[in-house]
Amino acid sequence: MSITGKIEVQDKDILGALGAFFKRVLETDDINAILVPQHLSMKNMVMPTLVTDPEQLNGVDPLAPAFPMNAAKIVSRLTRKQMGSKIAVVLRPCEIRAFVELVKLKQGQMDEVMLIGMDCLGAFQNKDYLQYVDRHGDKSTERFYQDVLDGKQADIEGATLASACMSCENPVPTNADILIGLFGVEIADYLLVQSQSKRGTNLLNQMHMTEIPEPASRQDAITAIVAQRIACRDEMFVRTRAATDSLEKMTAYLANCVNCYNCRVACPVCYCKECVFVTDVFNHDPSQYLRWANRKGVIKMPTDTLFFHLTRLAHMSTACVGCGQCSNACPNGIPVMELFRTISQSTQRAFEYEAGKSIQQEPPLSVFYEDEFPEVVGINS
Amino acid sequence: MQDFEPTIIAFVCNWCTYTAADLAGTSRLTYPKNVRLIRVMCTGMVDPQYVIKAFLEGADGVLISGCHPGDCHYINGNYKARRRIKLLKEILPQFGFEPERLRLTWIGASDGIQFAEIMDELVDQVKALGPNQAKLKMVI
Ligand code: SF4
Ligand code: SF4
Ligand code: FES
């Protein structure tokens, strides 16, 4: 049975209310630690922090428009073996979806984590966030969520949200144990809490939340924002397909890639422990480069750029959750997310799969059935 | 285009299609020299990146061929291969590679005649498609 309750907000201090709520979570018998984004005292940046002392939750800021990394990777680190303790983790919806993919790949487990998902207002790219925070200092987060909830998200004083966020059709978490809702809620007065699983219900019961019905305005607000995001996403798909639909255009799209592989490092679902592209397989014999150059008279260095991206698409596009961390990490401004989301829409659809949606459904390349895909067999199909 | 001689890279499994190719040879059947066989233990070991590499290096066609369903010597390698081909046939056409350049067939160990026939037909098909664009242009 799901419980819907409220977190009271005093003096419009939403972050304070969230901090107090997380403190109560940490004080329950079930939870020994909490992973939550906080303002670092030494720099105006928000990073995931692992907290065991309830007094160390004063900088809690999960609403900051900062998304320095996809924290599914952190949760995977914390849960790859039994920890012997229970932790609560506060995540964005795309972080939960990436974590679900990692759990299915046996790179994390759910038993010891309580997933707290927040309605996601989106975030800036890293460099834009730093500028935003320079301009608005302490008031950055407050300014941001007010603007977004007032419907101004497309362009907030010069900076736009990351393209991944603008085209994200999943701003409301699924597969969380507990959801914290903002859309369609009078956040000046309260935030919504809702359990999405049995253990979530148990935890909320222990915390004696004041129960309320879900506000009537919530579903409409969600429908409206999702429609807006889907329109933006579909436009992005059309744009990206047009920019990459031949080998020549694809080559142009990726021409300034320097094979730094930051996109792969930042990707939460690039699951190999050692990527083949950093092994000796790609440390070619020096004479090999000349043989390649000889064939057409010229090659671009470093080589294997398109090979890298196409291989990554083949290996992980069925697991892409569209978080945009690849684009965020690219030093050369290549719209990596756009490419990966566009292709992954086709590959996920081909296997009737949606990354991060279901814990039960096996990843497409981990299963097979005897009778399937007859259309790809034979030379006359 | 008349004298275009395509290059076709064929990943064939040791136990079925390679044996069929061998049988074609010992039966003195001929098949076009455009087809370059790469013997692998099972189609289940053909990582999508082998196919991608072949295309980026200018192969005009890629064939993966192994045992019939139920006959794979490693039980299910060919089913896994089929999923990977499905995947690649979603990805490659988005960059202008005709999906017909990539083929998957089951040719059993005793199908020597069939092996030779399929190779003939495959070469004709790829000839009709013309050269792979990666052959002519700079690939990064
Ligand atoms: S490919 Fe990019 S958008 Fe997709 S999951 Fe990885 S980092 Fe996120
Ligand atoms: S982060 Fe950018 S430059 Fe580096 S490998 Fe990825 S696309 Fe290329
Ligand atoms: S052994 Fe022939 S396909 Fe597996």
Q: Tens digits of per-residue pLDDT, A306-336?
A: 999 999 999 999 999 999 999 999 999 999 9
The mean pLDDT of B31-37, rounded to a whole number, is 96
Indicate the pLDDT class of residue A104, thresholds 50, 70 and 90. very high
Centre of ligand 1 to C-alpha A160, Å, is 19
Query: Does A235 have pLDDT greater than 80?
Result: yes
Q: How far apart are CA A188 and CA A132, in angstroms?
A: 23
Q: Which of A340, A171, A161 is nearest to A264 (CA)?
A: A340
Residues A325, A241: one domain? yes
Q: Is B110 inside a domain boundary?
A: yes
* Distance in Å, alpha carbon of B60 to nearest chain A alpha carbon: 14
Residue B3 lies in a domain: no
Is pLDDT at A155 greater than 70 in this prediction?
Answer: no
CB atoms within 10 A of CB A268: 28
Of A74, A261, A241, A236, nearest to A163 (Cα)?
Answer: A236
Whether residues A325 and A184 fall in one domain: no
**Is there a single domain that holds both residue A119 and residue A215?**
yes
What percent of chain A is modeled with pLDDT above 70?
98
As a whole number, mean pLDDT of residues A79-93 equals: 95
Query: Looking at A99-103, A158-162, A360-364, which range is the least confident one?
Result: A158-162
**Is residue B72 in some structural domain?**
yes
Let me know: does A350 contact A92? Beta carbons within 8 Å: no
Which pLDDT band, with edges at 50, 70 and 90, does B44 fall under?
Answer: very high
- B19 contacts: CB under 8 Å, gap ≥ 6: B109
SS3 category, B45: helix
A262 lines ligand 2 (CB under 6 A): yes
Q: Other CB atoms closer than 10 Å to residue A127's CB: what's the count? A: 11
Tokens of B86: 């499905």
Q: Is the domain of A115 the same as that of A173?
A: yes
pLDDT digits (tens, 9 = 90+) for A27-83: 999 899 999 999 987 777 899 999 999 999 999 999 999 999 999 999 999 999 998
Strand A190-195 versus strand A178-181 pairing type: antiparallel
Is residue B2 a part of any domain in this protein? no
Please report whether residue A202 resides in a domain.
yes
Q: Give the pLDDT mean for A112-122.
A: 96
Instruction: Give the model's confidence band at B67: pLDDT under 50 very low, under 70 low, under 90 confident, else very high.
Output: very high
| For the CA of A323, the nearest atom of ligand 1 | 8
Maximum alpha-carbon separation in chain A:
74
Q: 0.90 cut: is pTM over it?
A: yes
Stretch A128-148: mean pLDDT, rounded?
87
* Residue A372 maps to a domain: no
Residue-level pLDDT at B2: 59
Give yes or no: residues A41 and A181 share one domain. Answer: yes
Does ligand 2 lie within 6 Å of residue A266's CB atom?
no
Phi, psi of B119 (to 5 degrees): -65, -40
Per-residue pLDDT band for B40 (boundaries 50, 70, 90) equals: very high
What values do phi and psi take at A19, rounded to 5?
-60, -45
Instruction: Say whether both A244 and A209 belong to one domain.
Output: no
Amino acid residing at A96? I
Its domain, for residue A254, covers 233-366
Domain, as residue range, for B34? 8-137
Asked if residue A265 has pLDDT above 60, the reply is yes
Whether A250 and A330 map to the same domain: the answer is: yes
Please indicate, yes or no, whether residues A171 and A50 belong to a single structural domain of this protein. yes
Atom of ligand 3 nearest to the CA of B75: 4
Q: How many domains does chain A have?
A: 2
In this structure, the answer to whether residues A185 and A318 fall within a common structural domain is no
- Among A126, A244, A250, A257, which is best to mutate for testing ligand 2, by the most ligand atoms less than 8 A from CB? A257
| B1 confidence band (pLDDT: 50, 70, 90) | low
In a shared domain, residues A74 and A105: yes
pLDDT band (50, 70, 90) for residue A156:
low
On whether residue A374 sits in a domain, the answer given is no
Residue A146 has pLDDT above 90, yes or no: no
Count CB neighbours of B27 within 10 A. Answer: 11
Q: Are A282 and A358 in the same domain?
A: yes
* Residue pointed to by tokens 């597969």: A175
Whether A306 is in the pocket of ligand 2, judged by its Cβ within 6 Å, is no
Contact between residue A210 and residue A2 where contact means Cβ atoms under 8 Å apart: no
Residues A46 and A132 occupy one common structural domain: yes
C-alpha A326/C-alpha A31 separation (Å) is 32
Q: For residue A154, is pLDDT > 60? A: no
Average pLDDT over residues A243-264: 96
Residue A373 lies in a domain: no
Residue A134: pLDDT above 90? no
How confident is the model at residue A381, as a pLDDT?
Answer: 73
Quick check: is B14 in a domain? yes
A330-374 per-position pLDDT tens digit: 999 999 999 999 999 999 999 999 999 999 999 999 999 999 999
Average pLDDT, chain A: 94
Examine residue B99 and state whether it is found in any structural domain, yes or no.
yes
Supply the mean pLDDT for chain B: 95
Angle formed by the axes of helices B48-56 and A305-316, to 10°?
150
Look at chain B and report how many structural domains it folds into: 1
Domain at B109, CATH number: 3.40.50
